[in-house]
Structure 1
C-alpha cells in the first residue's frame, strides 16, 4: 500500500503542514513549515512502513549516491532509493525532481540518462 502517508495542511498550526497516516487515521507529524520537506518526510515514511507495519529490510534499497534518471513523463530528476510494494511486488523509485519535490515513481517509469554518472 503506497499512499499511506499524505501531506495535508496542519489543523493545529496555521500555514504549516502535517503528515496524515491513512492506516491509523491519525496524524504522524505536525508543524512542518515547508510543503516540500513534508512531502519528503511522507516518502521516507512510505519507505519504512507498509499497510501492516514496518517494511521488510529486503524491500528497500538505498543508493550510495543519487542517480540521474528520466521519468516516462519526460521529466529529469534523480533517484535516491528503491522500495518494493509488499502487496504487489512492484518496485518504486524515490524520485527527486529539479524543484526538489520527492515522490515515489513506479520503477518501470524511470530510465537512466545516458552519459550521466
Structure 2
C-alpha cells in the first residue's frame, strides 16, 4: 500500500520490482493482480499514482472525489514536500497527491499541507 510520511493510506495500487531495470510492475491490491508490467521504475510509480486517481478500493472513484490542480502548486508539510497536482477524497477527508523532489508521488492529508510562500 502507498503510505507517505503522515501515515495516509491510499494504496489500492503499489509497485513491485521484477528481474531487470525495465521490469517493474503495478500491482492492483483490490483485484489481487497485475495492472502493468515491463516498466521502468519511475514509469511504474507514475502509473500507480494515476490509477489511484481513477479507482478506490471498491472500483471507479466518483468524479466528485477527485480534483486536479492546474497548474500544480508547490506545497509543504512541516518542510517542503513537493508539487501538489491532485486531490482525492478518502474516508471523508481530502488527500493531496504530491510529487516529491525525487519524482515520486506521496499522499498527504489536506490538514497537513499548505502552499509554500514561493508558490
Q: Classify the TM-score, shorter chain.
A: 0.7 to 0.9
Q: Which residue pairs with 1:78 in the alignment?
A: 83
Report the RMSD for the aligned CA atoms in angstroms: 1.5
- How far apart, CA to CA, are the structure 1 residues paired with 2:34 and 2:11? 14
TM-score by length of 2: 0.84
Deviation for aligned residue 1:83: 0.8
- How far apart, CA to CA, are the structure 2 residues paired with 1:36 and 1:45? 14
4+ residue runs over 6 A deviation:
none
- How far apart, CA to CA, are the structure 2 residues paired with 1:20 and 1:80? 23
From 22, 27, 45, the counterpart of 1:39: 45
Residues 83, 98 of structure 2: 8 Å contact kept: yes
Q: Which residue pairs with 2:112 in the alignment?
A: 109
Residues 81, 98 of structure 2: 8 Å contact kept: no
Residues 66, 87 of structure 2: 8 Å contact kept: yes
Q: Which residue pairs with 2:37 in the alignment?
A: 30
Residues 40, 103 of structure 1: 8 Å contact kept: no
Alignment partner of 1:41: what SS?
helix
- How far apart, CA to CA, are the structure 2 residues paired with 1:8 and 1:78? 24
